[in-house]
Amino acid sequence: MHYYLLEDNIIQQLRIKRILPHCEVFGQPKQFLSVLMSDKQPKIILLDLEINHHNYTGLSIAQFIRSRDVISPIIIVTTHTELMATSYQYQISALDFINKFQAESIFKQRLVSAITTAEKQLAEHVIAKPDFIAIPNGRKSEKVDIHEVVYIASDVLRSHRLIVYSEKSQLSVRGTMQHIEQLHKDLMRVHAAYIVNRHKIASLNTKERTLTLTNQARVPLSKKYYKKLQAVMAQDKH
């Protein structure tokens, strides 16, 4: 497991290093991002928000990372707790928001807990076993691993056709949304024309009522399904 920290305060660098000895520490965003982007494996990322006396630098960096990596957990470690609400606008899906001003014992406990949760999330992502479903396609069916399915959309060009968007491919099938959404508990209807894999949701934009998925696709969210989706997303965080 790889751990990366962006923190420009040497005292805070050493503080976190004592808790997480194997963490690679960087004080400058450019070097940090260069190393991070070259590591193609999921990793755990720790970020301060204020870098070089600019309060929002960390949020912008987190947003940049998330646009290219929707899997690696991001943990915010900062003195600027007032920016917690603002962070949601950046849609970075931070795992935790840890206040540096906490007593050392509480700070350590909170950080260790966040790291443990992040490690568990990554482990589950890596070791997930195939779980195949049979998607009807006219008189036959297509065998697809549910872990690979990102979302399913109605084909706007051909009636009674659906497009299954997977992590590595697309599949056109003849079927109905009503039937598809009943094939697996992870498939959720979010719109008349869209079904998503609940585990492929990267972020929810409540203002625009859209979902960003792990393949960076954006799909609309109907008011009809909004409350149910919120409940499911809250459940998946625990």
Q: Parse the chain into domains and list their residue ranges.
A: 3-127, 132-236
* φ/ψ bin of 147: left (φ > 0), alpha (ψ from -120 to 50), beta (otherwise): alpha
Q: What percentage of the chain exceeds 90 in pLDDT?
A: 62
* Per-residue model confidence as pLDDT tens digits over 168-182: 889 999 999 999 999
Fold of 3-127: Rossmann fold (3.40.50)
Nearest by Cα to 48 from 26, 66, 64:
26
pLDDT at 87: 75
What is the C-alpha separation between 125 and 236, in angstroms, rounded? Answer: 14
Arithmetic mean of pLDDT over the chain? 90
pLDDT of 51 strictly over 90: no
Mean local confidence (pLDDT), 63-76: 89
DSSP 3-state assignment of 108? Answer: helix
Q: Which pLDDT value is given to residue 47?
A: 94
What is the number of other CB atoms lying within 10 angstroms of the CB of residue 131?
Answer: 13
pTM of the full structure: 0.55
CA–CA separation, 178 and 173 (whole Å): 14
Q: Which of the four pLDDT bands, split at 50, 70 and 90, describes residue 127? A: low
In this structure, how many other beta carbons lie within 10 angstroms of the beta carbon of residue 183? 18
**Span 84-106, mean pLDDT?**
86
Closest CA to 29 of 75, 61, 53, 59: 61
Tokens standing for residue 137: 């396609």
Question: What is the CATH code for 132-236?
Answer: 2.40.50.1020
Mean pLDDT of 36-65: 88
* Predicted confidence (pLDDT) at residue 140 exceeds the cutoff of 80: yes
Whole-angstrom distance, CA of residue 42 vs CA of residue 70: 9
**DSSP class of residue 15?**
H
Domains 3-127 and 132-236 equal at CATH topology level: no
Read off the pLDDT of each residue in 112-130 and give the average, rounded to a whole number: 84
pLDDT band at residue 125 under the 50/70/90 scheme: confident
pLDDT band at residue 40 under the 50/70/90 scheme: confident
**93, two tokens:** 């899906």
**Angstrom distances, CA of residue 210 to CA of 113, 119, 190:** 31, 28, 10
Q: What pLDDT, on a 0 to 100 scale, did the predictor assign at position 238? A: 54
Given pLDDT bands bounded at 50, 70 and 90, which one contains residue 128? low
Tell me what pLDDT residue 34 has. 94
Instruction: Report percent pLDDT > 70 for the chain.
Output: 97
Rounded Cα distance between 218 and 220, Å, is 7
Structural contact between residues 25 and 2, judged by C-beta atoms closer than 8 angstroms:
no
Point out which residues pair with 201 in neighbouring strands.
213
How far is 217 from 212, CA to CA, in rounded Å? 6
pLDDT grade for 146, boundaries at 50, 70 and 90: very high
**Which residue stretches of 5-142 are H helix?**
10-19, 29-38, 57-68, 84-87, 104-127
* pLDDT per residue as tens digits for the range 155-164: 988 888 999 9
Question: Stretch 12-25: mean pLDDT, rounded?
Answer: 95
